[in-house]
């Protein structure tokens, strides 16, 4: 029989409690949603972060994270080539609803010192065609989609002013727009347009990007990326650089019709 001193017993007990605390950090959110968390610096149990991913209608992902020692901090969220910035609240909590770009979606959060990653199955992702625009800073970029010969301002004109809901696409009635991110602290913003991959009609969705020239953005360069499916059907990011007109154009709206490829739809 091995005998341990009181000091050794306390050390073993302390290590056992720490192991149990770290093991309790990973959990499943739903039977259909599997999350795997990667914890950085889990030594301080009161600072241990948690991540939950859950599936939502329209192949959307509900993200909920808690980083108790990262309050009011900027978080970089990435999923495949898509990225956006978010801010934790005074308790270190952050939430977002983002589109799944692939059937098996991996989501990663990073503050620079804390990293969380999770994976979830989104089997409906293949039912949607996604087009994304992402950029750094506070320039007011907007995706505009004109669905199936819809006029500007018509029922099929999807933009931030009429973004629709995921349920519309679930019912194969048309697309919807998702806005993500915060420009605070030169953060990344993103907009994602989603349309059913098996539409009820055929035609073309005309895509354009608009931005108003303001006193703050005139003459500036905007750098970012566009994301559309490649020939293999996988989301691919392409670099984007826009130089806005000079300040004599303040108040005007710049319309870019060739930045995104139109979606050509056909009944299957």
Instruction: Using alpha carbons, select from 118, 112, 95, 79 the residue that is nearest to residue 182.
Output: 95
Q: Please determine whether the domains at 27-121 and 127-265 fall in the same fold group of CATH.
A: no
Is the whole-model pTM more than 0.85? Answer: no
> What residues does 104 pair with on adjacent strands?
121
> What residues does 36 pair with on adjacent strands?
none
Instruction: Kindly report the CATH number that applies to the domain delimited by 127-265.
Output: 2.60.60
pLDDT of residue 267: 56
For residue 266, CA distances in Å to 45, 197, 199, 202, 203 come to 54, 9, 7, 4, 7
For residue 129, CA distances in Å to 150, 172, 217, 234 come to 18, 12, 31, 10
Tens digit of each residue's pLDDT (9 = 90 or more) over 217-255:
999 999 999 999 988 889 999 999 999 999 999 999 999
Mean pLDDT in order along the chain per 10 residues (268 residues): 45 36 33 39 70 95 96 97 97 97 96 94 92 95 94 94 90 90 92 86 90 94 95 92 95 94 79
Give the separation between CA 227 and CA 131, rounded to whole angstroms: 6
> Which sequence spans correspond to the domains of the chain?
27-121, 127-265
Indicate the helix (H) or strand (E) that contains 21. Answer: helix 6-23
**C-alpha 250: how far from its chain's center?**
31
**Mean pLDDT for the chain overall:** 84
Q: Is 38 helix (H, G, I), strand (E, B) or coil?
A: coil
Q: Is 25 helix (H, G, I), strand (E, B) or coil?
A: coil
pLDDT of residue 268: 56
Give the separation between CA 90 and CA 70, rounded to whole angstroms: 9
Specify the CATH architecture of the domain 27-121. Answer: Sandwich (2.60)
Angle 186-192-198 from CA coordinates, rounded to 5°: 170
Enter the tokens of residue 248.
């004599």
pLDDT of residue 17: 33
């Amino acid at each position: 029989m091995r005998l341990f001193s009181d000091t050794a017993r306390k050390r073993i007990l302390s290590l056992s409690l720490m192991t149990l605390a770290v093991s309790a950090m990973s959990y499943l959110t739903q039977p259909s949603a599997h999350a795997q968390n990667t914890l950085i610096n889990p030594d301080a149990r009161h600072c241990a972060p948690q991540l939950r991913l859950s599936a939502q209608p329209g192949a959307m992902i509900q993200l909920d994270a808690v980083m108790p020692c990262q309050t009011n901090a900027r978080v970089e969220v990435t999923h495949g080539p898509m990225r956006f910035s978010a801010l934790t609240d005074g308790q270190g909590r952050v939430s977002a609803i983002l589109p799944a770009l692939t059937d098996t979606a991996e989501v990663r959060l990073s503050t620079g010192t804390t990293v969380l990653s999770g994976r979830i199955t989104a089997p409906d992702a293949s039912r949607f065609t996604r087009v994304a625009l992402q950029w750094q800073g506070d320039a007011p970029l907007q995706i505009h989609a004109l669905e199936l010969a819809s006029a500007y301002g018509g029922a099929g004109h999807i933009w931030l002013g009429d973004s629709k809901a995921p349920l519309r696409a679930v019912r194969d009635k048309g697309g919807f727009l998702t806005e993500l991110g915060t420009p605070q602290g030169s953060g990344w913003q993103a907009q994602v347009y989603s349309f059913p991959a098996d539409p009820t009609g055929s035609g073309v969705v005309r895509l354009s990007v608009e931005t108003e020239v303001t006193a703050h953005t005139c003459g500036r360069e905007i750098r970012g990326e566009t994301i559309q499916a490649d020939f293999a059907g996988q989301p691919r990011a392409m670099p984007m650089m826009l130089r806005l007109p000079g300040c004599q154009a303040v108040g005007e709206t710049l319309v870019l019709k060739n930045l995104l490829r139109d979606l050509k739809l056909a009944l299957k």
